[in-house]
């Protein structure tokens, strides 16, 4: 256990680098550590969205913006990382798209009240639990709108490679389940009706939190 704690901190720091200086490696690394399941985990959130206009919070390299556009949604992406903004813009333009990407902090979303029927975030950082961020999510959502986010996944396959990936996700905190109650409590106190969905895939279980603005 003493060895795992500093290693976990090192890996967490590495993920922060992936979102900034090493953003160009993010797609490759995420597929590697999830044993090819990353995109399936992200897409588990899509069935819970409402309406056509979607704000993706922390859009990353732009994969979900591609998915949303292909499904007929009208997505806008927001990310604090300028490196991720450049990466996503290049990716979407390579598919013939002119993305609407905005730089900004979730604690001060640059959008008017009641602007979106849906917000989406896949594998967000700690901001997803920040009280000011939760208040901002509530503010920009339309009444009855939903925030859908994927905080974690649990690999269930018994293969050696998948067991290694599950260990890696466990020590970085991305496959923990004990936080459910505190997440739901915070969102409920902020004016949401929140629930946890478990989406079962052939080799994993994906956790999806659905928080509806009352």
Q: How far apart are alpha carbons 59 and 62 in whole angstroms? A: 6
Region at 114 (left for phi over 0; alpha for psi -120 to 50; beta for the rest) = left
Q: Determine the topology of domain 4-213 in CATH.
A: Rossmann fold (3.40.50)
Q: How far apart are alpha carbons 94 and 92 in whole angstroms? A: 5
Phi, psi of 157 (to 5 degrees): -65, 150
Q: How far apart are alpha carbons 214 and 201 in whole angstroms? A: 30
Region at 205 (left for phi over 0; alpha for psi -120 to 50; beta for the rest) = beta
Instruction: Count H helices and E strands in the chain, helices first.
Output: 8, 7
pLDDT digits (tens, 9 = 90+) for 55-105: 999 999 999 999 999 999 999 999 999 999 999 999 999 999 988 999 999
pTM of the model: 0.81
Domain boundaries, given as residue ranges, for the chain: 4-213
Phi, psi of 175 (to 5 degrees): -125, 20
DSSP 46-105: GGG--SSEEEEES-TTSHHHHHHHHTT-EEEEEES-HHHHHHHHHHHHHTT----EEE--
pLDDT digits (tens, 9 = 90+) for 20-59: 555 556 666 776 676 778 899 999 999 999 999 999 999 9
Q: What is the mean pLDDT of residues 6-23?
A: 54
Q: Quick check: helix, strand or coil at residue 154?
A: strand
pLDDT digits (tens, 9 = 90+) for 164-197: 555 555 545 555 555 677 889 999 999 999 999 9
């Amino acid at each position: 256990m003493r060895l795992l704690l500093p290693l976990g901190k090192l890996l967490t720091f590495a993920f922060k680098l992936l979102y900034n200086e090493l953003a160009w490696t993010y797609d490759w690394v995420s597929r590697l550590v999830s044993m090819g399941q990353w995109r399936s985990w992200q897409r588990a959130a899509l069935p819970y969205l409402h309406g056509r206009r979607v704000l993706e919070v922390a859009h990353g390299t732009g994969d979900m913006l591609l998915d949303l556009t292909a499904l007929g949604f009208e997505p806008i992406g927001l990310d604090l990382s300028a490196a991720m903004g450049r990466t996503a813009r290049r990716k979407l333009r390579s598919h013939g798209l002119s993305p609407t990407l905005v730089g900004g902090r979730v604690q001060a979303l640059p959008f008017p009240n009641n602007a979106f029927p849906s917000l989406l975030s896949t594998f967000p950082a700690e901001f997803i639990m920040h009280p000011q961020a939760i208040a901002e999510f509530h503010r920009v959502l339309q009444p009855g709108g939903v925030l859908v986010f994927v905080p974690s996944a649990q690999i269930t396959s018994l293969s050696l490679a998948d067991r290694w990936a599950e260990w890696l996700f466990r020590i970085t905190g991305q496959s923990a389940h004990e936080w459910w109650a505190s997440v739901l409590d915070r969102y409920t106190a902020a004016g949401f009706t929140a629930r946890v969905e478990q989406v079962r895939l052939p080799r994993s279980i994906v956790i999806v939190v659905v928080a509806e603005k009352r």
